[in-house]
Amino acid sequence: MERAEIFEKLNEVFRDVFDDESITVGEDTTAKDVEGWDSLRHITLLAAIEDEFDIEFSMGQTVSMKNVGEMVDFIQEEL
Amino acid sequence: MSLTSFYFLIFVLCTVLLYYAAPAKYRWTVLLAASVVFYVSYSIVGIFILSATALITYFSALRIEKIGDGYKSWLAENKQNASREERHARKKASQSHQRRYVAFVVTVSVGLLFLFKYYGYFASGINRAFSAHLWTAENLLLPLGISFYSLQLIGYVIDVSRGITKAEKNPLKVILYGSFFLSIMQGPFNRYNHLMPQLCREEKTKLSFYKFKLAVLKISWGYIKKMCIADQIGCIAREVFTNYTNYSGLGIALGMIAFAVQLYADFSGYMDIICGIGELMGIEMPQNFRQPFFSGNMSEFWRRWHITLGAWLKDYIFYPILKSKAFLKMNKGLSKTLGKKAGERIPTYLGMFILWTLIGAWHGAGFNYVFGVGILQFIYIVSGELTKPLTDRLNKLLHLKEGSLPLRIIQSVRCTLLMIFAWVFFNSSSFTAAVHMLGRLFAGKPGLSQIQAVFYSDSGILSGSGKIWLIYIVLCVLVLLIADFLHEKDVFIREKIEKKPYVARVLVYLTIVFSIIVFGAYGDQVDVSNFIYFNF
C-alpha cells in the first residue's frame, strides 16, 4: 500500500476516534497536535488503526512511535 | 551511609575524583565499585540478592535477543517468498518464546519483592484471622532499593523483548544498572537505554568550573530542602500523626499541611541532591518532579509528581493491560451495546483501577497505601474527568477562562488540598488510624488553641514559640512556591545566580551555608538519617 493511501485511511480513523472532521495528519503530526490524543486514547486509536489495516502493533511499536510518520512506517512493515 | 552524613560527602568526593582519574573506558567500573560500597554500607546480604536478580535478568535478556534475532534473520531471508500469514505466525511464535523469559524474570523479581515486602503483612493477617501459625518473615530485612531495582530490571528485559534496547553483553554492567548508587535508594526509575550509555561512555568528558558550580548549587538546594524544610517541618507532622488523639480541628490540619510540605521538600530535595551529584560526573538523571502543585487537575498532578514511576507503570503495565486481547474485546463489545464513549471509557477505567491499586501497593504493604496513594487517586482522576462538563459550565458561569491566572490558582489549590487529604492515609500507621485522624479534623472546639497545643506538646520534639514556628512554616512554603514558580516560568535560577557579580554570588553561597548550619535540623530528636521514600 502506498504511503499516501495509508495517510488517507489514517485521517478517517483519526477523525472517527477523536470525533473531529477537521483532523488531517501528516508525517510530523504528534500527540500534542491532536486534541484529546493522550496516553489513555493512544491505545483506542491504535486499536482502531489495527482494525482498519488488519495488522497488530507490537508493544515495542506502541510505546516507541514518536509521530504519525513512524506510525505509517510500522503499518508498512506489518502489511 | 545516609545522604545527609559527612561520610556520604567524603564518599561522593572520592567517587568523583576516582571517576575523572580513571581512563574513560573504565569509568563505569568506578561507578560499579562505588555502588557496591554504597550498598554494602547498608546491607551485605542485599548485594548478593541484587546481583543474583541482575544476573538472571542478564542471561534472560541475552536469550530474548537471540530469539528475536532468529526471527529477524528468517524474515530477511524469506520476506519475498513467505506469505503474510506465515510471517505473522513466525512472529507470534518468536514473541511467545520471548515472553516465557520475560515471565521468568518478572516471577523472580516480583517473587522476591513479594517475599521481602508483602509476605509478612499477609502472613500476619492470615495468622490473626484464622489463628494460624504461619512464618511471618520477621527476621527478613527488606533489601535496600528492592522496589526500585526490581522494576528497573523488569523494564530492561521487557525493552530487550520489544527491541527498544540491545541486550548487554557484560553482566557487571547489568549489576551496575540495578545497583547504581544515585538511584538505588529512592529512584528515579531509569531506563537502560537512557542511563547506561551515560554510565559507560568511552569518550573522555571534563567537568568545567562553571558546571561544577551549577551542580554544587543544585546539591545545596537539595540539602536546604531536606535539612532546613523537610526535617524541621517534619517534626510538626511527626508530633501530630503520632499523637493525633491529643489534637483536633486546626491542630490536625496543621499536621496534615506540615506533612505535605515535608514530603515534597524531602523527596524533591533528595532528587536535587542526586541529580546534582550526577551532574558532577556528566550524568543526567531523569526528572522526577515538575512543579506538581501547579497542576490543573489530578491527572496532571501525577504527570508532574514522581514522573518516572508513572512513566514506568504506563509503559510496562497500563498499555499492556489496555492492549490485551481481553480488554480490546471488552472495548468492542461495550461499544456495540453501550455506545462508542462507554465502550472506550469502561475498559480504560478498569485498567486505571488496576494500575492505581498497584501504585498504592507498591508504596507499601497495607490498605492505607492501597487506598490513599491508589484507589483514592483513581477516584480523584475519574471523577475529575466525569465532572469536567459540569466544572467547565461552572467556570463559564463565573467568567473563569481556561488557562487564566485565577482559574489556575483555584485548580492548584484544589489539587493541593486533595493530596493533603490523601497523604493522611500514606503517613498513617493504618487505614483505621487515618480515618480516626480525619474524623478528629472536624471534631473538638474550633480555634487557634489547637495549634498552640501542637507546639507545646509533652513529647518535647518541638520547642520554642508557636508564632515563630508558624512564621517558619509560611516562609518555607513561600520559598518552595517561589522556586517552583520560577521553574514553571522557565527561569533557570542557578544560571541566573552564576551570572551575578562576584560579591552577589559569594553572598548567595554564604546564605546557603549558613541556612544549612542555622536552620538545618540536627540532634537526637530529629530523624535526619532517612528520607520518606527511603527503602520503599
Query: Alpha-carbon distance B68 to B61, whole Å?
Result: 11
Segment A23-49, tens digit of pLDDT: 999 999 999 999 989 888 899 999 999
Q: Does A35 touch chain B (CB under 8 A)?
A: no
Cβ contact, residue pair B319, A40, below 8 Å: no
Test A59 with B320 for CB contact under 8 angstroms: yes
Q: Are the beta carbons of B323 and A59 separated by less than 8 Å? A: yes
Helix (H/G/I), strand (E/B), else coil: B305: strand
Residue B348 and residue A39: Cβ atoms within 8 Å? no
DSSP SS3 for B356: helix
Nearest Cα residue in chain B from A60: B162
CA distance A59 to chain B (A): 6
| Residues in chain B where the model's pLDDT stays below 50 | 529
- Return the residue of A nearest to B341 by Cα: A17
Task: Give B 224-253 residues with CB within 8 A of chain A.
Answer: none
> What's the grid cell of residue B504?
552577589
Residue among B322, B203, B202, B222 nearest B266 (CA): B222
| Closest CA in chain B for residue A45 | B344
Q: Do A64 and B162 touch (CB under 8 A)?
A: yes
Segment 52-71 of chain A within 8 Å of chain B by CB: 58-60, 62-64
Return the C-alpha cell found at B454: 501542637
Q: How far is B314 from chain A (nearest CA, A)?
A: 8
Min Cα distance B161 → chain A (Å) is 8
> What per-residue confidence (pLDDT) applies to B535?
55
Chain A residues touching residue B163 (CB < 8 angstroms):
58, 60
Q: Do A58 and B162 touch (CB under 8 A)?
A: yes
What is the SS3 assignment for chain A? CCHHHHHHHHHHHHHHHCCCCCCCCCCCCCHHHCCCCCHHHHHHHHHHHHHHHCCCCCHHHHHHCCCHHHHHHHHHHHC
- Interface contact B323, partner A, CB < 8 A: yes
Cα distances (Å, whole numbers) of residue A28 to A24, A49, A68, B239, B432: 11, 18, 6, 55, 52
* B90 interfacial to chain A (CB closer than 8 Å): no
A44, burial (CB in 10 Å: exposed 0-12, middle 13-18, buried 19+): buried
Nearest CA in chain A to B335: A44
Report the residue of chain A nearest B165, measured CA to CA.
A60
For an interface test with B, the pick among A18, A43, A53 (most B C-beta atoms closer than 10 Å) comes out as A43
Instruction: Please report residues of B whose CB lies closer than 8 A to that of A59.
Output: 158, 162, 319-320, 323
Calculate the alpha carbon distances from B115 to B43, B358, B389 in Å.
Answer: 17, 16, 45
Give the number of beta-carbon pairs within 8 Å between A and B.
38
Instruction: Please tell me if residue A40 touches chain B, with a CB cutoff of 8 Å.
Output: yes
| One-letter amino acid for residue B434 of the chain | A
Q: Do B164 and A44 touch (CB under 8 A)?
A: no
User: Which pLDDT belongs to residue B524?
Assistant: 53
CB-CB neighbors (< 8 A) of B344 in chain A: 41, 44
Q: What's the confidence (pLDDT) of residue A78?
A: 80
What is the pLDDT, as a whole number, of residue B210?
94
Tell whether B311 is within 8 A of chain A (Cβ): no
What local confidence, expressed as pLDDT, does residue B98 receive?
96
CB atoms within 10 A of CB B139: 7
Shortest CA gap B97–chain A (Å): 15
Distance from A58 to chain B by nearest Cα, in Å? Answer: 8
Q: Which domains does chain A have, with CATH numbers?
A: 3-78 (1.10.1200.10)
The partner residue sitting opposite A63, judged by closest CB among B84, B319, B344, is B319
> C-alpha dihedral over B413, B414, B420, B425, to 10 degrees?
-170
Q: pLDDT value at position B446? A: 67
Is B422 at the interface with chain A, CB within 8 A? Answer: no
Neighbours of B482 (CB within 10 A): 11
B319 to A62: CB separation less than 8 angstroms, yes or no: yes
106-165 of B, contacting A, C-beta below 8 A: 158, 161-164
State the residue for C-alpha cell 538545618.
Answer: B520
Residue B79 has φ and ψ, to the nearest 5°, of -60, -40
Question: B319 contacts in A (CB within 8 Å)?
Answer: 42-43, 59, 62-63
Alpha helices in B402-489 (DSSP H): 405-427, 431-441, 449-455, 466-488
Among A39, A55, A56, A70, the residue to mutate for chain B (most B Cβ within 10 A): A39
